[in-house]
Amino acid sequence: MVRIYHNTRCSKSRATLALLEQHVGTYEVINYLDSPPSTAELDVLLNQLGMTARELLRTGEAEYQSLGLDDPALDDATLIAAMVAHPKLIERPIVVVNGKAVIGRPPEAVLAIL
């Protein structure tokens, strides 16, 4: 099953979804701003992406600054908790296929795991 963590307001996310429509028969769309991933789900996604929590953060979001997430002393658990509470901080889109995940920036990056 192919799954995309999608934000309808994001042009890269919409472009990635369009690629999935062209290349995949069935896929699941998770509007992660409405249904944020849990701490456990984020842990799994980070493992599938091969990324740290800090690497998955959107540093340009207002919440990043207001929550002081630029503090290098913050551990992954704290950063993950911030993303669960403020899903806008999660880099997007994330596509998961057969236990592998990739961020669709650029959208064509997802083709590597399809």
pLDDT recorded at residue 70: 97
What's the burial of 70, exposed, middle or buried (CB within 10 Å: 0-12/13-18/19+)? exposed
The answer to whether 10 is a known catalytic residue is yes
Average of pLDDT values for 53-80? 97
Domain spanning 2-113, CATH architecture: 3-Layer(aba) Sandwich (3.40)
- Catalytic one of 3, 10, 49, 109: 10
CA proximity to 103, closest of 10, 9, 1: 10
Q: Give residue-wise pLDDT tens across range 71-105.
A: 999 999 999 999 999 999 999 999 999 999 999 99
For the record, the structure tokens of 46 come out as 């980070």
CA proximity to 57, closest of 87, 16, 36: 87
What's the burial of 4, exposed, middle or buried (CB within 10 Å: 0-12/13-18/19+)? buried
What pTM, to 2 d.p., does this model score?
0.95
Average of pLDDT values for 1-24? 96
